[in-house]
Structure 1
C-alpha cells in the first residue's frame, strides 16, 4: 500500500521542478542520509548527500587517471623520511553563505587544523559532542598515526606523522576528511547548539544546503562562488525514492534526470529507451555476508567455513544480480592491485559443510539470524530474495536462520554496535588503495569503531595490515596483502558475494556526468537540456 502510494506522495515535491529542467537537476536516490556531519558516519548514502556535494578535501582521487589530484590544497610536499607533509592551500576559497551562517573570511589553515583536531583530540570540545563518534578516523587509526597538525602560516598546513604510512595521502581524499568552517563551528558552540552541524551543514563545495525532509527530499542550490567554477545547474534535488521500480518510472517521466542504483533488469529496460542513457563501470566494491565472529557458535572457524560451503553462489548471482556482477572470492575487487587471484575459495559442498558442523559439536545445527535491508542498492539489488536463498541453503545443513529486515539507517547503527549474527553488507573503496578494504573492515581498531562487521580482532592479521602501510613499494605491499587475504579466507570472516557493475540511469539531455567505480557522486559539471 505504501509503495503503491509513493509516486503520488512525492509528486508535489518533484513536479514543480520539471518546469525548470534546464536549470534544476533532480536525482532519484535510494535512501535518506543518516545526517550531514559526514565524519560521524560511514555509509555511502550519507557521503553522497554531504561530502560529495557540500564539501571538499585537501586532495581528490581521480578514478580515471588513478592519481591523487589537488583540491583545497593546490600542491603538497613530503619529506624524505615520509613523516612530514606540507600542504599549500588554494587561495580565494569561500565557505557557503546561508540564512544561518555568514562567513567573515575565506578558508585558511585554521579550518583544516580544526577539522582534524576535532576527530583526533579527545580534549577538543567538538570531539565530545559527536554522538556517533568518528568511525572512519578511528578505524583508519588516525589518532595513532598523526602526531601533530599545525599551521606554519595561513595558507600552509603541516601534518607530522608518528610513522610512515603509504596510505596517508589517499586517506585524505575520503569523504570523512572533508574540511569544515571553524568559524561556523565556533558560532554553533557559542550558541550551545553544536547538534545543528548535523542538520545545517556548511562547506566549500559546489552546492549549498537548503532543506532536508527525511525519506522525501534534499534540496541544494548552486554555489556561485565555487572555486572550480559555478555548477552547470542552478539547483540540485535528491528525490529519495527507495523502490528501484519507482526510480525507473520517475526518470522515464522526467521527474528525475538521474536515477542511482538501478536493478539489473531496469538497466536492460533503460538501454532500450531512446530517452535514456545507461552509464556503467566496473565497481571498486564488494558485496558480502559478514559473519559476526563474536557471537557463538559463529566464533568457531569451522562454523563460518560451513556457511561458506553451504551457499550456492552461482544461483545467488544469477537470481539477485541477474548476470551483472562477478563472483567474489575475498574482500578485494579483481581490479585492485594486490588482488590474490590464486586463492581456492569455497565451492558448494553440503557434505563437507555438515562434517565441519559435526566437528564443531553442532551436528544437529543451530539457530541464528540474517539481517538485510528492505530496499535494493548497487551492492544488493534484491535483498529479500538474497536472504531467502541464504536461508534455504543454510537449512540444508541444519542451520535455522530467521530473516530480519531492518531499515537502512537503523541497520547500520545496530550493525556497528555488533548486534547482528549474519549481515548482508557491502563495501566501496573510495580512495584507490587496497588497504581501504582491510583497515576499515578487518583491523582491531575497526572493531572498536564499528566498521569491522566481522568483529574479528587477530594479532597476525592486524600485523599484516599494519605492515602493508609501512612501505610505498607496491610489490612488497601486494605480497603482504595476499597473505592477509589468505588468512581472511581461511578464517571465513565473510561469505564474499559479488563485485557488481556500477550503473546509473540518465536522461539523454544530461551531459557531464560520469559514474564512479567508488559510488561517489560529482554533479558539479552536469548540465541538463
Structure 2
C-alpha cells in the first residue's frame, strides 16, 4: 500500500524514509514530522488480525490500528477507568441481559473503507465469537443475538446477565471493531493488511525487520502529533538499550529484572514499570497425595517465605500478592490475609497430618530464567520444614505439557488476564477449568471449594452483590489452600527523554505504552 491511500501528510512519509534508512536523502524543502520508533524485543509480527493477535509483539501494534466500543483510559489498566470509544454511550436492561450501544457518527475506516456503521459492529462481534475466526471466542460465547437497530445503534442480547459486558468490548483482544467490507475483501490477507479506525493506519511490514504505521489524519479524536510509528525487530537487549541512549529508537521493551532497571536508570534512561503484572502463583495439586490433606497444604503455605522471594525478584518490578486474585483486579480482596511464614508451624502441621518425618514431592519446573531461580528458592524454603521437593527441570514446552497432565505436585505459573476477578477465578479456581476436565483451562490445583460463588458472580446483574461473591470466593480458596499467591511481575519499558506520551503511565493492557494522537517526540531527525 502507498502512503497516499491513507491521505497521510507528505511530511510524515519523508520522516519514515529518513528514520528507517530507506532513502539516502530527502529534499531539504520538505519539513518532517516526528516519527516514533519502537522496539518491543519481539522477533517478528505473527498477525495483525485483532481477533488472532495474542503474541506480545502483535498486541501493541494492533492497539494503535483499531478501536473498541469502549477503551481503557490511556495509561491505565483499571476497568474502573473505562471510557467511551467508538460508542459514545451505552445502556442496559435492568437484568443486564440486553445492552444497547450508541455509536459516534462520522468515524472513518482507514484506506477509504468508509464510515463505521452498526453493521460493522454486528459483524465484528459475531466474528469475535466464531472459534474458526477468533482466538477469543470463549469470551463471547454468552452472545445470544446482536442486531443493528439503525446505522448507529447496536443491541446485544446475552444468554445470561453480565454486569460487566462493556469490558468485553474494550480495546483488548476480541473487543476491537473491524470493517466488514475490508475483512471480507482481504480474507486471509487481513492479518497482514489490517484496516481499522485508530490513530495510526497500517502501511507496510517487512518480515523480521519492521512494521510501519502512518498517522490517520481523519482520526475522530484529532490528527496525531506524530507522522507515524515504526516498530523495529531488535532481539538483543543490549542493542535496544544502546539504541535508546543514542536516540535511534524512542521506546523499548526492557527486561523485567531489578538489576536491569537499576542499571538502565543509572545510565539516565527513563524506565517505566507498570501494570498489569504477570501474577506468579504456586498451585498445590490435590490430585497428588498427600496434597489432598488440608494440613499438608497448610504446611506448605506456612513454609514459604514470600517476602524473601519478592526481595529476590526486586522491589521495583515485583509486587507481593495479597490474594489468589492478582493485585489491582476488579473485585480483588485481601481480607482473608496472607499465609504467615512459620517453619515451626509447618512442621507441626505435617506431624498432625501423619508425616512427622516430612514428605517428598515431585515437581516439573521450567528451565526459563523467570521460573527456575524462584523454584530453587521455594525448594530451599520447603526443605527447612522437612518437605523435600524433587525438581524435574525441563524446557518450557515440556513443563507446560507435563503440568497439564497432572505430573507436577506444585505448579509454578505466571499469567496476566483481563483485570477483573471473574476472568481469573474462572480460569484458575473453577473446577470446570481443572486439568483433565472437558473445559480444562488452568486450574492446576483441582480447586472446587468456591464453585458456587464463582458461578453465581458470573451471572449476577447487581455489581455490589457480584463483588461480595468474588470476595467470599477468595476467602474460601484461601482457607482451603488451593494455591500460594507469590507476586506480580510488572511490565518494564524504557523511553528517551524526548518522548512525551501525553498521559501518565500506570498501566497498559496490551503490554506496551499506548501511543495516542497526543504522543509527541521532540528530538530532531538525523
TM-score by structure 1 length?
0.76
Q: Mean Cα displacement is larger for which, 255-264 or 334-343?
A: 334-343
Q: What's the CA shift string for 1:39-94, capped at 9, x where partnerless?
A: 346565543232x1221111113238943321111222223343222112222323
Q: 1:356 to 1:244 in 2, by over 3 A?
A: farther
Q: Which residue of 2 aligns with 1:257?
A: 250
Task: Find the partner of 1:118 among 116, 123, 127.
Answer: 127
Q: What residue in structure 2 maps to residue 427 of structure 1?
A: 416
Task: List aligned pairs for 1:290-305, cutoff 5 A.
Answer: 291=283, 293=285, 296=288, 300=292, 302=294, 305=298
1:172 to 157, 169, 172: 169
| Distance 1:333-1:459 versus aligned 2 partners, 3 A rule | closer
Whether 2:466 is the aligned partner of 1:477: answer yes
Worse overlay, 501-510 or 387-396? 387-396
Q: CA RMSD in A?
A: 4.0
Q: How far does the alpha carbon of each residue in 1:259-297 deviate from its partner, in whole angstroms, 9 at most, with x for none?
A: 2344333433444555x434455x343521353748645
Residue in 2 that maps onto 1:289: 281
Residue-by-residue CA offset, 1:303-343 (whole Å, 9 max, x unaligned):
65555444332222112224543311323345456443332
- In the alignment, does 2:37 pair up with 1:35? no
Partner of 1:369: 364
8 Å CA contact 1:502, 1:519 repeated in 2 = no
Q: Cα distance 1:314–1:444, how it changes in 2: closer, same or farther (>3 A)?
A: same
Match of 2:82 in 1: 68
1:468 match: secondary structure: helix
What residue is the counterpart of 1:5 in the other structure? none
Does the CA-based 8 Å contact 2:287-2:446 persist in structure 1? no
SS in 1 for 2:416: strand
Q: Is the 8 A contact 1:414 1:420 kept in 2?
A: no
Match of 1:398 among 388, 391, 402: 388
Q: Which residue of 2 aligns with 1:389?
A: 377
Distance in 1 (alpha carbons) for counterparts of 2:243 and 2:300: 40
Indicate the larger mover: 449-458 or 501-510.
449-458
Q: Name the residue aligned to 1:3.
A: none
Query: Which residues in structure 2 correspond to 1:242-281 (within 5 Å)?
Result: 244-262=237-255, 263-274=257-268, 276-280=269-273
Distance in 1 separating the partners of 2:21 and 2:221: 29
Q: Deviations over 1:340-387 (max 9, x none)?
A: 33324333345655676784989551322113645xxxxxxx555334
Does the CA-based 8 Å contact 1:286-1:328 persist in structure 2? no
The match for 2:61 is 49
Aligned residue for 2:117?
108
Residue number among 298, 308, 330 corresponding to 1:315 in the alignment: 308
Cα contact 1:22–1:528 (8 A) shared by 2: no
Q: CA deviation at 1:153?
A: 1.8
Match of 1:58 in 2: 69
Q: Distance in 2 between matches of 1:151 and 1:182?
A: 14
Please state how far the C-alpha of 1:147 moved relative to its aligned partner: 1.7
Is the contact between residue 465 and residue 481 of structure 1 (CA under 8 Å) also seen in structure 2? yes
Contact 2:202 2:214 in 1 (8 A): yes
> When the two structures are aligned, how many residues end up with a matched partner?
480
Q: Secondary structure at the match of 1:166?
A: coil
Does the 8 Å contact 1:108/1:154 carry over to 2? yes
Which runs of 5 or more residues in structure 1 are unaligned? Answer: 1-12, 122-126, 375-381
Partner of 1:236: 229
Q: 1:323 to 1:227 in 2, by over 3 A?
A: closer
Among residues 129, 149, 155, which one is paired with 1:152 in the alignment? 149
Instruction: Assess if the C-alpha contact under 8 Å between 1:167 and 1:435 holds in 2.
Output: no
CA 354–370 in structure 1, closer or farther in 2 if over 3 Å, else same:
farther
The 5 Å alignment of 1:5-24 reads 16=21, 23-24=34-35
1:91–1:386 distance in 2 versus 1, CA, 3 Å:
same
* Alpha-carbon distance change, 446 to 454 in structure 1, aligned in 2, over 3 angstroms: closer
**Larger Rg computed on CA atoms:** 2
| Partner secondary structure for residue 92 of structure 1 | coil
Deviations 1:143-169 (A, max 9, x none): 2x3221111222221101233221111
- 69 and 519 in structure 1: CA distance in 2 versus 1, 3 angstrom threshold: closer
3-state SS of the aligned residue for 1:478? Answer: helix
Higher mean C-alpha displacement, 476-485 vs 420-429: 420-429
Structure 1 pair 212–425 and aligned structure 2 pair: CA distance change class (3 A): farther
Q: Distance in 2 between matches of 1:519 and 1:230?
A: 23
Match of 1:439 among 381, 402, 426: 426
Superposition deviation, residue 512 in structure 1 = 2.6
2:476 corresponds to 1:487: yes
